Amino acid sequence: MLGQRIKEACKLSGMKLKQACDRSGISYGTLYNQIKNEREIPFSSISKLAATLGLPLSFFEESRPIAQEIQPGADRWQIAEHVNVDRAACSRAGFSVTTDHVLDWYQKEGAQLKNWEWLGDQIDLYKPLEATDSIMHPLQIGKRSTTAERLMLGGNRDFYHVVGSFDKRVIDRAMQSHKALQDVPYIVTDEELDVTVKGQKVLGGYRKVSMRLTDPDRGPVTAIFSKLTWLHAT
């Protein structure tokens, strides 16, 4: 039952139902009665709770017996990793990572690259920019990141082939947010892209979150998350 999933989610996050409702901007009384009387719970309420509790929407799918599949003692990030393996379930549930989710995670984790399974395939990691660099150097391009999807990238090597073919002004503009991280921990910018990729014109706009992070294994890294805001089809 969905009401039971909500209770489990609050327990995993260490919150009471009322506290979760207050933080999510949901009426506690209304949700409490919906759960108690087994009435329909609006999707908007589930979406807000998911964001507040740091869980993917697929966690709330009644068809997935998560409580039986997860080992006792697992924390909410382990559960997030488990349920995000099934991307189809996430898509059906409508879970979409936003810039707000990413910034909340960044602040919560103290600029450490950890507990990021739920967005790992939508974020790009780069080496910190050096003064002599003429292009960004990727460590990992997320398989479903805006960069990978819009530039039709097949991996790090493809990045140099595709991005390296762009006009220097395009590359310099993309590097600006990387350079800004020398002075600030993160920056949010609205960008436009007007390039030709593998014979196809790509014209659109996106919101870009650039973050300075510490990877426990690799040390300092630059993380980029982008969300498409508009796209002109040609």
Domain end (from 49, 69, 96): 96
164-189: b (≥16 Cβ within 10 Å) or e? eebeeeeeeebbebbeebeeeebbee
1, 13, 76, 29 alpha-carbon torsion, rounded to 10°: 20
Residue ranges with strand state E in the chain:
124-126, 138-140, 186-197, 200-215, 219-232
pLDDT confidence tier of residue 189, bands split at 50, 70 and 90: very high
pLDDT value for 172: 96
Across residues 104-127, what is the average pLDDT?
A: 89
Do residues 32 and 119 share a domain?
no
Give the structural domain span for 145.
104-232
Do residues 134 and 85 share a domain?
no
Dist. CA 202–CA 19, nearest whole Å: 45
68-83: b (≥16 Cβ within 10 Å) or e? eebeeeeebbebbbbb
- Ranking 53-67, 183-197, 211-225 by mean pLDDT, the lowest is 53-67
Domain end (from 96, 125, 144): 96
Do residues 111 and 199 share a domain?
yes
Let me know: does 229 contact 206? Beta carbons within 8 Å. yes
pLDDT confidence tier of residue 28, bands split at 50, 70 and 90: very high
Do residues 117 and 212 share a domain?
yes
pLDDT value for 58: 67
